[in-house]
Structure 1
């Protein structure tokens, strides 16, 4: 899937003197005009309000419509904001409300386990390159800690949080696995779709996911999904650390603790 900015730039006919930034700003001006006017707008009206050629406005709107950022009323031929803005807004709202709710719980988990704890979400706008993004983290005081930082990403097929969220993802997200590239990172990485789907069945059955030396040798992660009030998976919480240290208390302490914290966060979101 093309990035949003690339799509807009490609949808606007540019002269040799125009830059990609100028084209993007033009498209954003059109989008912001909907916010300012708070109503449907036609090509001619947008052209007049912004001082742009009608052909330029039309090409830009066509691109925005194709990507779901605007929609055309078939009766009036006017345009309004599309469903993609609702999706983006929902993601932003959920993510921004999720962090303050989850923060004390992931701190509690980190204190219990004395290991690093992460809160991650699925990047829904990365096309077929499905990945997770870490949005919050509590560091560990332990030595020999190899853990991702806030803002970092990882492919879904080789990390605990990715498996935890994909196991409960909707059909649209799961269908992206048809084009997904199962890149091997270690000798333990899952490298085919069928094996990955079997792994997701296991995650659904157990209620938690784990990767052991799949993304990086010597690193083990245990993760559990977090659900919103609609029962949709919106995030996952995980703890990770050196495999040699994690295996000692994996079954009796780490797995039950991660599942319990995920359930408690989900309850707060409901």
Structure 2
């Protein structure tokens, strides 16, 4: 039984299930799609979806499909951490993009995945598996490894205790090797990932700290394998990360803390 059909589920929880059915790879859905994804009866899904349309949270297109509404998008822009990060990160990302002509992206930790807040992409750059608003695995992406290495011991244990998906032949799935990589990333503040998530794509990522020294995001450049030397790009990425961290109030001498604050 779908959790949306379980007795005792509130109307608000069902509304949230409908809204969270939308994703970067499925920005518009039919009523049948929404009913199937949530497990709601078709009549219930229709009633709730039309209420969301009336409220401006969803838009209904001429072909009958639904998409996220303007009012819901406006509400999302009020999230203080994500919007201030995007705004402050933009100049640093633009400088990296101009200098390297490669993908540059900013990501934060949400649950046990990394969410891409912003990305600048060169037309000729290597193809990537996700887009802005999309999610990346923690164990095999550059931003993911940086975020996981600073997420605390319990989070690391939780992620590494489950079966890890192998995305390419280079994906590291051995828990002990990953622990060593995460320890190194926590010590240095950066991660180099070579073709683990996407064949032919290397990622150079670094941490972003706030005024408390808490790691709140990761910044990365993703390059086509062989197009540049990752260690040649690394100083620019780290410098940009430190510059953005300073904008968020961090200063040298402030201890680096996990994203949880510990």
TM-score (norm 1): 0.63
Q: Identify which of 173, 182, 189 aligns with 2:164.
A: 182
User: Relative to total residues, which structure has the larger helix share, 1 or 2?
Assistant: 1
TM-fit CA distance, 1:23: 6.2
Q: Identify which of 205, 210, 218 aligns with 1:228.
A: 210
1:264 aligns with 2:231: no
Q: Secondary structure at the match of 2:227?
A: helix
Cα distance in 1 for partners of 2:152, 2:188 equals 19
Which aligned pairs between 1:1-270 and structure 2 lie closer than 5 A?
A: 6=3, 10=6, 12-13=7-8, 22=11, 24=13, 92-124=79-111, 130-141=112-123, 143-147=124-128, 148-247=130-229, 250-252=230-232, 254-270=233-249
Moved over 6 A (4+): none
Cα distance in 1 for partners of 2:116, 2:178 equals 22
Q: 5+ residue gaps in structure 2?
A: 17-75, 250-262
TM-fit CA distance, 1:180: 3.1
Higher Rg:
1
User: For residues 26 and 146 of structure 1, do their structure 2 counterparts lie closer, same or farther at Cα, with a shift above 3 Å needed?
Assistant: closer
Q: Are 1:9 and 1:24, in contact at CA under 8 Å, matched by a contact in 2? A: no
Q: 5+ residue gaps in structure 1?
A: 14-19, 28-88, 125-129
Deviation sequence 1:111-146 (CA, Å, 0-9, x none) = 11111100011112xxxxx211111011214x2422
TM-score (norm 2): 0.64
